[in-house]
Copies of this chain bind each other. A is one copy, B any other.
């Protein structure tokens, strides 16, 4: 297949051509130990002319490390995960480990299959962007000596698993307080179509916050609500669309709140009230945890919550007495896994 019909040069080839031993070539490559200058030069020259690149597979086998980490995502179409990945990338500059980005779709079977594959491949660490409710795979990874940290999807009961997440309780309290001040007394929480841990968590936080204000919280049912609190911006933006197509006015009839403050929330035509959390920082922190855990050959066990900020925009406003509230005629849209499979309107 190679144009020249030969297979890639190995360390053996280089050693032979340079007239040294394989150990010496290895030492030159790794910059370790002191190699005599003339030998080093000879080896370097041969490496350059043969275009030799050490085989990472062999190295991985020998060094018990692959230089690869995995980022497990729920929904590649959500810019939130893109930011998360960017944060990981930022933190990764040092050892430049390669990232496997895998979309589990929060499907338990897919998660398990992925977990198996990741263990077989002996990835150095795993960052979980979201997972199905009560998913067991992080513990299986830990059982196999792989450090894992949850990023943006709660805190595991397994002490061997690290976490960095938004402070959902605080965030939901901000949302509820904002809606309460605007006069809303019945609100609806709209989660994703699948069962994912992050949504469970936010749902619960919404419940607590609502209770603190005496607000009635409907979950995934609209009955009488004048505001829609959505699990994330993607869901919020989709519901905004669905509401307006069904004839409701936002924010006059019903308020809509998102979560993540993705770039689009700030778009003039969308102007979505949302919770800003620094997804890039989330990724960076998770990655840092993982990298130090790998370096110290231990699990990642730190847990950290990031404060959020409410960004008020055009989709929330005061309730207007006499306006219709949501009712039987309309149901919140539970965005499909990747928002990409929706049929275009």
Contacts and interface: CB of A to CB of B under 8 A. Distances in A.
A41 interface: no
A100 B76 CA distance: 13
Closest 8 CB pairs of A and B: A101-B101, A76-B82, A266-B344, A77-B82, A56-B121, A2-B145, A56-B120, A269-B269
A7 to B, nearest CB: 7
B263 A244 contact: no
22 contacts: A2-B145, A3-B160, A53-B144, A56-B121, A56-B122, A57-B66, A57-B121, A79-B79, A79-B339, A85-B103, A86-B338, A96-B117, A99-B100, A100-B101, A237-B264, A240-B267, A241-B269, A244-B269, A266-B344, A267-B345, A269-B269, A269-B270
A28 interface: no
Given A1-B298, A2-B145, A7-B145, 13 more contacts: A3-B142, A8-B145, A57-B57, A85-B103, A98-B100, A100-B101, A240-B269, A241-B267, A265-B344, A266-B345, A267-B270, A268-B345, A276-B344
Interface string A66-78: 1010000000110
Given A142-B3, A144-B8, A344 B311 contact: yes
B85 A76 contact: yes
- Place the interface of chain A in its size category: 35 or more
Q: With a 10 A CB-CB cut-off, give which of A68, A82, A103, A117 has the most chain B CB atoms.
A: A82
Q: With a 10 A CB-CB cut-off, give which of A160, A280, A339 has the most chain B CB atoms.
A: A339
Contact of A55 (B120, B270, B280): B120
A307 interface: no
Contact of A83 (B77, B89, B268): B77
Interface string A253-287: 00000000101111111100000100010000000
A162 B83 CA distance: 31
Contacts of A53: 116, 119-120, 144
B144 A121 contact: no
A144 B51 CA distance: 9
Nearest to A117: B98
